[in-house]
């Protein structure tokens, strides 16, 4: 599903967020990427999600060599094959929950009625079928994160990338979110979670440890 080969990401001043990272994540894996702040975790997620390009090295996602794709092709790959969940929920204020989720299909060329139908079904899947017409301000933090996950998976992506998905939640809400991610993994979705939480990491099949932009444990 993901192959990074000697991937480096350098910024002005000689700062290396990633320094020669090589790793493979197979279809159906559930993986935690862990490490201290500044270790390169979020940069790695951006590479895996084709949100950024490496300074050097090769990134392949779902069989596609990212370096050979145009920006339009990368956008299409993200729209059809990759879902993103972030610590900040990024829900549109004043927009009902169902439409927040339906908007996850905008770039996939799905008609409005079908977007809403799929959004309803996905919200029911995450236990929020009773919240379709509520706005984000009316939801708890855990509910907002479940909406964000529903938006990420409404297009049935093969790969779900989550950056600190429990970071803003209390322990009970965080456990519920992780249970949902485990359910998605059980249904065949490849899951990659960036986390500082060792308990979250321990619940996934594999841990990748980063330090100073390098993999120290695959």
**Is 124 a domain residue?**
yes
**Is 57 a domain residue?**
no
Query: What's the domain range around 35?
Result: 29-51+71-217
**Is 153 a domain residue?**
yes
Q: Give me the chain's average pLDDT, please.
A: 92
* Residue pLDDT, tens place only, 125-174: 888 999 999 999 999 999 999 999 999 989 889 999 999 888 888 888 88
User: Is residue 99 predicted with pLDDT exceeding 90?
Assistant: yes
Query: What does the pLDDT read at residue 80?
Result: 87
Radius of gyration of the chain (CA): 17
**Is 36 a domain residue?**
yes
How far apart are alpha carbons 218 and 1 in whole angstroms?
16
- Residues 200, 205, 209, 214, CA torsion sign: negative
* Residue pLDDT, tens place only, 31-56: 999 998 889 999 999 999 999 999 99
User: What one-character-per-residue DSSP string does 107-152 give?
Assistant: GGT--HHHHHHHHHHHHHHTT-GGGTT--GGGS-HHHHHHHHHHHH
Contact predicate 196/41, CB 8 Å: no
Instruction: State which H helix or E strand residue 198 sits in.
Output: helix 198-202
**Is 164 a domain residue?**
yes
Total structural domains within the chain = 1
**Is 5 a domain residue?**
no
Query: What does the pLDDT read at residue 109?
Result: 79
**Is 58 a domain residue?**
no
Domain holding 143: CATH number? 3.40.50.300
């Amino acid at each position: 599903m993901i192959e990074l080969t000697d991937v480096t990401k350098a910024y002005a001043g000689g700062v290396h967020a990633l320094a020669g990272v090589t790793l493979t994540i197979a279809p159906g894996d559930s993986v935690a990427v862990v490490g201290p702040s500044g270790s390169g975790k979020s940069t790695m997620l951006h590479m895996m999600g084709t949100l950024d390009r490496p300074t050097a090295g090769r990134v392949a996602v779902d069989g596609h060599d990212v370096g050979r794709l145009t920006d339009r092709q990368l956008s299409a790959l993200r729209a059809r094959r990759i879902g993103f969940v972030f610590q900040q929920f990024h829900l549109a204020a004043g927009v009902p929950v169902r439409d927040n989720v339906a908007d996850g299909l905008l770039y996939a060329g799905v008609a409005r009625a079908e977007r809403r139908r799929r959004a309803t079904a996905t919200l029911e899947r995450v236990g929020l079928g009773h919240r379709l017409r509520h706005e984000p301000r009316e939801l708890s933090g855990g509910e907002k994160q479940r909406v964000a996950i529903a938006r990420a998976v409404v297009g049935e992506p093969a790969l779900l990338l989550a950056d600190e998905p429990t970071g803003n939640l209390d322990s009970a809400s965080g456990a519920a979110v992780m249970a949902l991610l485990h359910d998605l993994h059980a249904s065949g979705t490849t899951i990659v979670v960036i986390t500082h939480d060792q308990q979250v990491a321990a619940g996934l099949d594999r841990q990748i440890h980063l330090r100073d932009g390098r993999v120290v444990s695959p």
